[in-house]
Structure 1
Amino acid sequence: MGTGQSERMHALDGVRGVAAVVVVLYHLTLMARPRLEETAGLWEWITQSPLRPLTAGSEAVLVFFVLSGLVVSIPALSATFDWLRYYPSRLIRLYLPVIGAVLFAVALILVVPRFPGAISPDSWLDNRVASSISLGRIVEESSLLPETYTVVNVLWSLRWEVMFSVLLPVFIVVGLAVRRRPWLAAVVSVALMVAGRVLEVDALVYLPTFFLGTLMAVHLPGIRAWADRVNRRGGWFIWGALAVASVVLLVLSWLTRDIAPAGSSASAALWGLAGAGAAGLIVVAIGSPLAERMLSARLPLWLGRVSFSLYLVHVPVLASIAFLIGDAAWWLVALIAFPASFAIAWLFHVAVETPAHRLARRAGNRVASRHDRVPTPIAS
């Protein structure tokens, strides 16, 4: 890997870190929503204004999906890519932290009392976060098979990560098949996302989002060549315009709530454009020198390193503190939960995620080496 590519991959780590922080802020606002709605216009001011990108958690997950489509597809495009090594390594890398996060959440549920009166009825915490557990639910969520999750609320997205990972050969084959018409493939992908939102078919929303990343991986040399041409012409305006346009697409369904109310087909269609916005932000991170410098700074890189762990542990931490203090004091919950989530994410990264990565590499290498030792039959 050359120097330029290494630097750009560091920038993508920074994107992942920033997106993880946005998800945390999103869940903090959901926790505080019952109280924020008591002040006229405050919830709308936070969610339907230029502040929205700071708390666009569902949209930040689409950024994760495009990133996965890109970085997982890049090595798979190599002629020497070892699929036997890939599958056990990838699945262990995903599943072990998931199981660790479920057990961590279960421990918090057992230790921290879940008194119903501590949180607002019919709120996000009340409806989407478990206050009790069962062995069946633990096994179900650890398997990543259900469509909805309450022990670790965010695991719904890992279900799609696993699905993409298993179907990676299909994504690679299709990406290579349409390589001569990348723009048409991108437009079709976005159209499928829009249709998926309108028809409420999640597979049409999320799988094409991953495919945008695969498409970018197939055309990465061309994207970099185009970025170099833009940069030689002093392309700060182009990068700035692309970044703004991408952010607007990402949150367009929120910014247009006055004319396309939530729940309407128009709002759903606009929400379907969020995946295109996510892809645009990745292109900016790949090509813009300013974005690369900012995203490769020490803090974004640290956030990127712990982003997966932060994503997995922050809701159980937030929920436990909210049940302990009560969401009426939402500001105090946020004041404690925000730094606590980062501290616990770092511990989880060291204690669970990093060992899982080492085990994943060893398992992949072992499977590959066993295959290499199998003698090839001699044809008679």
Structure 2
Amino acid sequence: MTVIEQHPAKPVGGAVKPPTGQPVLPMGWLDALRGVAALLVAVHHFGLIHLLPYGGTINRKFDLGISAVMLFFLVSGYIVPASLERRGDVRGFWIGRIYPLLIVVITVALLVLPRAHSAVPDVVLDHPLRSSLANVLLLHEMLNGPSALGAMWTLCAGPPRLGSLVLGGLGAVLLFLNARSTFFESMTILATMFAGTAVHRIERGQLDRLQGLLCCGFVLVSGVLAGVLYDHGDAFCRTWTSGWEGFSLPYAAAWATFGLGMLLRDRRFPRVPTWLGAISYSVYVVHIPVLHAVDRLIPQDAFPHHGPGRFVPALIFLAAVLLLSDLTHRLVELLGQRLGRRLLKTLDTRSAPGPTPRPRSGG
């Protein structure tokens, strides 16, 4: 790839500010896409699609979770560099954005839900020290270990964390030889995420357009072919699909959805999808404990299995997820971001070199 030369501003506190004079790209379409992706993951985990006519067939041919996750990685690959350029510090992204919500939700889930309906897997509870360390470092999937919450497996592929590990060599070994997911799925996720970054760089004028588009096209075709060529046999139980169509078709759909969002990026998006995007991280983390709580509180025979009544548990689940996600976004995420900025400011102040002492005059 040919990267167009940039002249960054003077570093401040170890960070590099983005070049001045460049237009601020609209983010409403990204909010809508990540909100849709998070909600689809929740819907997929609840099994709502099985309540629809021909839902089983649809799920076998089109795995909704794969489509949502791949869309999530495309959006993340695009938006994380933009966010880091805007904030200028990768530490703030993890300290203020990622960890506070995870810590609060996992702690509350452990305190509220009984062991039989726990959102935290038994294997994590049986080996708390080892599992806690792996999950805190976000290395659990690479170490072939369980996630403290089911949705945390995608955080192992976050651009700052994974990029540093791969550059160090250790991450590559763990990801490709010891990860719970298949090799082709891991490679597809990585390529998809960095393709999103390439799109961002193209829009910013930091990457040659033709070469960038060719690389993105290669990633799209390779992702579709990966399912056709490799998602067979034992791979099904590791990709959680039931056929190669369940991987390839939703992967292509994720790209199509991302492309549609880009075509509409200059339009004003309604408040609901942008609000959903704002709480998307909370939706992604909160929905697993809510799913276990609904499973505990609503007996199997509480509602009919046929007719409109079969959708009532799903509606209760979605309403609870959206309500709690809005609360955790306001009370945990935003607070965590403010505290994270204060903590980083304190650390930077303490680590900053003091004034150079003046030499004493002779005599």
Q: Structure 1 residues 171 and 278, CA, compared in 2 at 3 Å: closer, same or farther?
A: farther
Q: Structure 1 residues 140 and 326, CA, compared in 2 at 3 Å: closer, same or farther?
A: farther
1:114 is matched with which residue?
A: 116
1:204 is matched with which residue?
A: 187
Q: Aligned to 1:326, what secondary structure does the other structure show? A: coil
**Shift, 1:157, TM fit:** 1.0
Q: How many residues align?
A: 303
Q: Structure 1 residues 349 and 264, CA, compared in 2 at 3 Å: closer, same or farther?
A: closer
How far apart in 2 are the matches of 1:272 and 1:91? 35
**Shift, 1:14, TM fit:** 1.1
1:320 is matched with which residue?
A: 293
**Shift, 1:251, TM fit:** 12
1:21 aligns with 2:21: no
Q: Structure 1 residues 197 and 108, CA, compared in 2 at 3 Å: closer, same or farther?
A: closer
Q: Structure 1: which amino acid aligns with 2:43?
A: L
How far apart in 2 are the matches of 1:63 and 1:376? 51
Q: Structure 1: which amino acid aligns with 2:44?
A: Y
Contact 2:140 2:147 in 1 (8 A): no
Q: Structure 1: which amino acid aligns with 2:79?
A: V
How far apart in 2 are the matches of 1:285 and 1:373? 46
CA offsets 1:302-339 (integer angstroms, 9 cap, x no match): 10111100110111111111123234556443131110
1:281 aligns with 2:294: no
From 57, 61, 74, the equivalent of 1:44 is: 57
Q: Structure 2: which amino acid aligns with 1:66?
A: L
1:329-368 alignment runs, 5 A limit: 329=303, 331-368=311-348
Q: Aligned to 2:267, what secondary structure does the other structure show? A: helix
Q: Structure 1 residues 91 and 280, CA, compared in 2 at 3 Å: closer, same or farther?
A: farther
Q: Aligned to 1:293, what secondary structure does the other structure show? A: coil
1:69 aligns with 2:77: yes
Q: Structure 2: which amino acid aligns with 1:365?
A: K
**Shift, 1:282, TM fit:** 3.0
1:166-185 alignment runs, 5 A limit: 166-168=161-163
**Shift, 1:136, TM fit:** 0.4
Contact 1:310 1:345 in 2 (8 A): yes
**Shift, 1:133, TM fit:** 4.0
How far apart in 2 are the matches of 1:270 and 1:331? 24
How far apart in 2 are the matches of 1:304 and 1:338? 15
The answer for unaligned runs of 5 or more in structure 2 is 1-19, 168-175, 210-216, 237-241, 304-309, 359-363
Q: Aligned to 1:146, what secondary structure does the other structure show? A: coil
Tell me which moved more, 301-310 or 89-98.
89-98
Which protein is richer in helix relative to its size?
A: 1
Q: Structure 1 residues 326 and 68, CA, compared in 2 at 3 Å: closer, same or farther?
A: same
1:183-198 alignment runs, 5 A limit: none
How far apart in 2 are the matches of 1:57 and 1:92? 27
Q: Aligned to 2:116, what secondary structure does the other structure show? A: coil
1:271 is matched with which residue?
A: 247
1:157 aligns with 2:154: yes
How far apart in 2 are the matches of 1:345 and 1:105? 14
How far apart in 2 are the matches of 1:271 and 1:197? 17
**Shift, 1:22, TM fit:** 0.8
From 92, 97, 101, the equivalent of 1:93 is: 97
Identity %: 24
Measured on the aligned residues, the alpha-carbon RMSD in Å equals: 4.8
Q: Aligned to 1:209, what secondary structure does the other structure show? A: helix
Q: Structure 1 residues 251 and 101, CA, compared in 2 at 3 Å: closer, same or farther?
A: farther
Contact 1:322 1:333 in 2 (8 A): no
**Shift, 1:58, TM fit:** 2.8
Give TM-score, length-normalised by structure 1: 0.62
**Shift, 1:25, TM fit:** 1.0
Q: Aligned to 2:254, what secondary structure does the other structure show? A: helix
CA offsets 1:53-107 (integer angstroms, 9 cap, x no match): xx712321222222222222236569xx84xx33244344211211112112212
How far apart in 2 are the matches of 1:351 and 1:64? 24
The answer for unaligned runs of 5 or more in structure 1 is 117-124, 173-192, 227-241
How far apart in 2 are the matches of 1:251 and 1:346? 39
How far apart in 1 are the matches of 2:60 and 2:184? 25
How far apart in 1 are the matches of 2:69 and 2:185? 13
Q: Structure 1 residues 374 and 208, CA, compared in 2 at 3 Å: closer, same or farther?
A: farther
Give TM-score, length-normalised by structure 2: 0.65
How far apart in 2 are the matches of 1:251 and 1:59? 15
